Amino acid sequence: MQAERSRPRALETRRGTLELPIFLPDATRAVVRTLDSSDLTSVGIEALVVNSFHLLRTPGARLVKAAGGVHRFMGWDGPVLSDSGGFQVFSLIRQNPAAGTIRANEVIFKEPSTGEKVVLTPEKVIQLQFQLGSDIVMCLDDCTSAEDDLAEQERAVERTVRWAKRCRAEFDKLARGLRGASPLLFAVVQGGASETLRRQCAADLAAIGFDGFGYGGWPIAPDGSLLAELMGYIADALPANAPLHALGVGRPDHVVRAHALGYTIFDCALPTRDARQQRLYSFLPGHEEGALEVGSKFHDVVYILDQKYANDFGPIDPSCDAICCTRYSRAYIRHLFKIKDVTAQRLASLHNLRFYVRLIDRLRLIQRAST
Ligand SMILES: [Zn+2]
């Protein structure tokens, strides 16, 4: 709990101050699927994540820039964090080595749909995010999987730190040329399952200096549990005033766990993907408000297609205060899914996002109370 208390409670961005912790939904391709930007605001979303790699492919960073940046393009006024795209590129290349090559200073990648060659360098990844108009820019990192051997992890850490230095230099150069306020720059800590490498990577990145740090690599063990120990090493090794971003976390219980370790920025496609697949979250009766204990069960999943909901005219979650539950019943939302109407996915997505906003609100309350 010490780590949690000492971490910053707010993140100052050029588009306003974000109270921490915060959950950012993944608007991967400049949209949270089935929802528009006013929908996001209506359930209390304050900031979101877009993916540089996907936007580079469609519609292209130049088009987004011509539109006036990603905010104008998608009609969103709040802060936007952009992924570097490294995670996607490295996952694709590691799954299929024919898809591209990772070199000391660049990643060469064949665009799957067109076969076009794309070269990503640390500088280019920063330039792309400036073209998008992102408020929180991420460094390019060499993303490994926890099962890769130690030699591979060492190489990845060496590249990640070297690339982070180049990203820092490119960012500073571009920021000096901006007319308005500068975005923030975050770096990503690699090192696989090695405590030594994780600590070393964190310390090397901290020495370069960044506005925040992310946990890099897949954060979930094969048994579905959170790699909390590894996440803890990084939190220990980084300056206490640095906000920590738990990239890809995640499940509601994982968010609570990672928050206790000092992580305060979360983004994950899970709630909206689950929503589209008829999995709706609900706080358990008696757990609708108040403290959230690490390791305790506080929510359930409503599988809305279950027959038992066909005649259930109650809301998905009686404690939910969003339109999905104040206006519509389980039976109606189930019906919309059954007839495959797109409204079902929209209402379900709004519901699951509202659940996350409420979850985060509860973590904020606990934090405020501990002051
Ligand atoms: Zn709801």
Which of 92, 93, 168 has its CA nearest to residue 125? Answer: 168
CA atoms of 281 and 294, how far apart (whole Å): 18
Bridge partners (DSSP) of residue 187 are 213
Q: How many angstroms separate the alpha carbon of residue 195 from the centre of ligand 1?
A: 41
Active site residue 83: yes
Q: How far apart are the first and last CA of the chain?
A: 12
Q: How many angstroms separate the alpha carbon of residue 276 from the centre of ligand 1?
A: 14
Please state the three-class secondary structure of the chain as a single string: CHHHHHCCCEEEECCEEEECCEEEEECCCCCECCECHHHHHHCCCCCEEEEHHHHHHCCCHHHHHHCCCHHHHHCCCCCEEEECCHHHHHHHHHHCHHHEEECCCCEEEECCCCCCEEEECHHHHHHHHHHHCCCEEECCCCCCCCCCCHHHHHHHHHHHHHHHHHHHHHHHHHHHCCCCCCCEEEEEECCCCCHHHHHHHHHHHHHHCCCEEEECCCCECCCCCECHHHHHHHHHHCCCCCCEEEECCCCHHHHHHHHHCCCCEEEECHHHHHHHCCEEEEECCCCCCCCCCCCCCCEEEEECCCHHHCCCCCCCCCCCCCHHHHCCCHHHHHHHHHCCCHHHHHHHHHHHHHHHHHHHHHHHHHHHHCC
Q: CA-CA distances (angstroms) from residue 240 to 20, 234, 235, 258?
A: 14, 11, 8, 15
Catalytic residue among 26, 83, 135, 204: 83
Q: How many angstroms separate the alpha carbon of residue 169 from the centre of ligand 1?
A: 45
Instruction: State the sign of the Cα–Cα–Cα–Cα dihedral 58, 64, 67, 70.
Output: positive
Q: How many angstroms separate the alpha carbon of residue 363 from the centre of ligand 1?
A: 19
The pTM is what?
Answer: 0.95
Catalytic residue among 26, 135, 211, 267: 267
Active site residue 211: no
- Which residues, chain by chain, have CB under 5 Å from ion ligand 1? 320, 322, 324-325, 351
Residue 368 confidence (pLDDT): 81
Q: CA-CA distances (angstroms) from residue 327 to 23, 107, 297, 349?
A: 25, 50, 27, 15
Q: How many angstroms separate the alpha carbon of residue 318 from the centre of ligand 1?
A: 8
Which of 53, 37, 54 has its CA nearest to residue 85? Answer: 53
CA atoms of 274 and 281, how far apart (whole Å): 9
Q: How many angstroms separate the alpha carbon of residue 322 from the centre of ligand 1?
A: 5
Q: How many angstroms separate the alpha carbon of residue 282 from the centre of ligand 1?
A: 8
Q: What's CA 300's distance to the chain center, in Å?
A: 22
Residue 371 confidence (pLDDT): 67
Asked if residue 18 lies in contact with residue 79, where contact means CB atoms within 8 angstroms, the answer is: yes
**Per-residue model confidence as pLDDT tens for the chain (371 residues):** 444 447 899 999 999 999 999 999 999 999 999 999 999 999 999 999 999 989 988 999 999 999 999 999 999 999 999 999 888 888 888 888 888 898 888 999 887 777 888 889 999 999 999 999 999 999 999 988 778 899 999 999 999 999 999 999 999 999 999 999 999 999 999 999 999 999 999 999 999 999 999 999 888 888 889 989 999 999 999 999 999 999 989 899 999 999 999 999 999 999 999 999 999 999 999 999 988 989 999 999 999 999 999 999 999 999 999 999 999 999 999 999 999 999 999 999 999 999 999 999 999 998 788 76
CA atoms of 244 and 364, how far apart (whole Å): 15
Query: Dihedral (C-alpha) 355, 356, 360, 363: value to the nearest 10 degrees?
Result: 70
